[in-house]
A = this chain, B = another copy of it.
Amino acid sequence: MAREISPGSPVEDLATPAVLIDVAVLDRNIAAMGAAARAAGVRLRPHAKTHKLPEVGRRQLAAGASGLTLAKTSEAEVFADAGFDDLFLAYPVVGLGKPERLLALAGRVRIAVGVDSLDGARALAAPFAAAGRAVDVLLKIDTGSRRVGVRPEDAPALAVALAEVPGLAFRGLFTHAGHTYGAETAEAVRVAGEGEGAALARTAAQIRARGVDVAEVSVGSTPSARHAMRVEGVTECRPGNYVYHDATQVSLGTCGLEDCAMTVVATVVSVPERGRAVVDAGSKTLSTDPLRPHPGGHGFVLGRKSRLSRLSEEHGVIDVVEGESFRVGERVRILPNHACVVSNLHDEVIAVKDGRVAEVWRVAARGMVQ
């Protein structure tokens, strides 16, 4: 490509669109969640799907994280290759070749895997049993997100069954309070987070009462993390988005605009009429993920009241509010709705310090969906 990015060059010299990571904000977010986990007395195992970057994962470990969380097997392979040696796949890994790949991974790093069915767990365990090994598993509990995971009341019987599967080592429980992204108020987020932790701790006690050890009781989600991690009996927390935050976290009240580390710099390419401006960042740059908890366009234009109202692949249409205006060639900064999917759209992001390029980070685990 014709583009060159030199460390030290000002952000104003970057071609657009480009994804910027403010390193000072990033480090502050990482330190704050590390401190919150220490204060709560729980291990912190951040979900690296948000950044997909070894550079950020290393910062998380340096700030006290005990390891990283990932979803897909190929993501874990990338992070293992980058030197990370303690990984949890918070995902019911099922599928051709995956158990064998996890067995290979387990030969070089500490790995644990999510399960939520006996069928899935047996398929996962088979190559481990054949090799005379056992894979650490955590049972996924559905505490309200209605995605994967068993209901708390169904967990004890399944845990007892899992503990007897050859090739499995039952290690504990985990959940993800995805439903907090629909919470209308800070109070609702708190209630959901405390409920998430309490449901998991209660279920762990019921399983222990049936004679099965539960070493790990692991909660997740950035909005709920600070509430769920303080519940008695919780041992681990796995937030992901907090490293960057985004327009959804601001809308949920999880953070302020000043806590958002990822922005997209874009150029106004067209102002076809009063009330409409178009930037060179569309769904292939920002994704069409909606704002939550309520739809509200496709990204905030920082310093303006106007928002991106619709995206096509390479166009972002700004509804220009009364009193604001944009001109062709002007550069704007966009706060995306959802940082985690933006990371997955770009080969590289630009680490920025004091308005200048500090480093270019290749998004090593981008596209690792298998």
Contact = CB atoms under 8 A, between A and B. Distances in A.
Contacts of A150: 272
A336 B116 CA distance: 26
A303 interface: no
A370 B15 contact: yes
A123 interface: yes
Interface stretch (A56-64, A185-193, A282-290): A282-290
A269 interface: yes
A147 B71 CA distance: 37
Nearest to A145: B312
A267 B99 CA distance: 14
A97 to B, nearest CB: 5
Interface stretch (A167-175, A226-234, A337-345): A337-345
B346 A367 contact: yes
A18 B120 contact: no
Given A71-B314, A117-B328, A278-B147, A268 B94 contact: yes
A38 interface: no
Contacts of A270: 92, 94, 116-117, 120, 148-149
Contact of A94 (B77, B96, B267): B267
B276 A283 contact: no
A367 B285 CA distance: 8
A369 to B, nearest CB: 5
A18 B285 CA distance: 22
Contacts of A96: 13-16, 267, 331
Given A96-B331, A116-B270, A284-B341, 18 more contacts: A2-B101, A3-B74, A3-B370, A15-B95, A49-B313, A49-B314, A94-B269, A94-B328, A95-B269, A95-B329, A117-B270, A146-B276, A151-B273, A287-B288, A288-B288, A313-B340, A344-B345, A345-B345
